[in-house]
Amino acid sequence: MTRRRFIADEVEGERAALVGEHAAHLSKVLRAQVGQEFDIAAKGNVRRGEITNITKDRVEFVLREGVTATTAQREVTLLLSVFKFDRMEWAIEKATELGVSTIVPVIARRTEAHLAKASTKRVERWRKIAREASQQSRRSGEPLIPDPLALRDAIVAAQGLRVLLSEHESPARARLKNLIDDHPKEPLTLAVGPEGGWTDEELGLFQKAGWQFASLGSTILRAETAAITALALAIS
């Protein structure tokens, strides 16, 4: 039977622990017991963990042998312009399942003002969603989700192969795949615009910074659909 996987909150030598609500879920909801074993993701490695102690807000493990690791994927960062929170949460969950390395919430010119203002208070929820999706999909760690960034700052900070998804480009879906295949070892950053699309000024910022432009086809996709489609192409 496949063991459930959890991401450790604390790791020291051959010991690891879940704390707070993560521990409460394991102890109260799953009714874990001393001696029970789970897969524990600890500092990027996955090892068999045996529970040695349980309290209401702390579950401690001794770490045993390593679990066979999956093949390392390309490092992919997703710049995700903040959009309606229910759909953005879905995008974060699915992007995590696909193996994204980092999700950067971005405030673009056409990001709705009330969403931009509320986004800093949603980051912890987004991180929680990513953590749960990481455990469910049996990743060895969760993606990094920093606090929201202004688009200009995110454009400058991006490294590796940088690709802007834009409906302004000719509908050549193969272009994105070709760009990815032509740079197989480079870290990849994908930028997905807000629901209103990129402004001309923003497109100019991307172009000046040396970003590649690509389209996902002849139809206009919702932001969350574009993000998942692009990631599926990038990580496949």
**229, part of any domain:** yes
Same domain, 42 and 89: no
Same domain, 19 and 59: yes
Examine the fold and report which residue of 46, 66, 86 is the final residue of a domain before the chain moves on: 66
Q: Are 22 and 55 in contact (CB under 8 A)?
A: no
CA 191 from chain centre, in angstroms, equals 13
**pLDDT tens per residue, range 120-169:** 999 999 999 999 999 999 888 899 999 999 999 999 999 899 999 877 65
Examine the fold and report which residue of 28, 48, 66 is the final residue of a domain before the chain moves on: 66
Per-position DSSP letters for 123-192, written without gaps between them: HHHHHHHHHHHHHHTT-SSPPB-PSPEEHHHHHHH--SEEEEE-TTS-S-HHHHHHHHHHSTTS-EEEEE
Q: How many domains does the chain have?
A: 2
Amino acid at position 94, single letter: K
- CATH number, domain of 42, equals 2.40.240.20
Per-position DSSP letters for 69-88, written without gaps between them: PPPPPPPEEEEEE---HHHH
49-54: list long-range contacts, CB under 8 Å, 24+ apart.
49/6, 49/8, 49/16, 54/23, 54/27
Q: Are 109 and 202 in contact (CB under 8 A)?
A: yes
Same domain, 56 and 164: no
pLDDT at 93 over 50: yes
Same domain, 58 and 172: no
Residues 25-37 have a mean pLDDT of 89
At 168 the pLDDT is 63
Same domain, 227 and 208: yes
**pLDDT tens per residue, range 166-191:** 776 544 445 787 888 888 888 999 99
Same domain, 55 and 89: no
- CATH number, domain of 206, equals 3.40.1280.10
Same domain, 124 and 186: yes
What stretch of H or E contains 233? helix 223-235
Same domain, 9 and 83: no
Most confident among 33-42, 68-77, 78-87 (mean pLDDT): 78-87
Give the confidence band of 72 by pLDDT, cuts at 50, 70, 90.
Answer: low
Same domain, 48 and 106: no
Amino acid at position 108, single letter: A
At 3 the pLDDT is 79
Residues 6 or more apart whose Cβ sits within 8 Å of residue 100? 76, 77, 78, 143, 231, 235
At 70 the pLDDT is 56
Q: How many residues does the chain have?
A: 236
pLDDT at 46 over 60: yes
Same domain, 126 and 221: yes
Question: How many Cβ atoms from other residues are within 10 Å of residue 207's Cβ?
Answer: 12
**71, part of any domain:** no
Q: Which domain holds residue 165?
A: 76-235
pLDDT at 8 over 90: yes
| DSSP reduced 3-state for 5 | strand
**82, part of any domain:** yes
Same domain, 210 and 142: yes
Same domain, 180 and 210: yes
Q: What percent of the chain has pLDDT above 90?
A: 64
**52, part of any domain:** yes
**pLDDT tens per residue, range 118-127:** 999 999 999 9
Global pTM reads 0.83
Residues 6 or more apart whose Cβ sits within 8 Å of residue 217? 171, 173
List alpha helices for 6-139, DSSP H. 20-24, 85-98, 113-136
Examine the fold and report which residue of 15, 42, 66 is the final residue of a domain before the chain moves on: 66
At 162 the pLDDT is 94
**125, part of any domain:** yes
At 143 the pLDDT is 95
Q: What percent of the chain has pLDDT above 70?
A: 94
Question: What is the chain's alpha carbon radius of gyration, rounded to the nearest angstrom?
Answer: 20
**pLDDT tens per residue, range 49-71:** 999 999 989 999 999 988 865 55
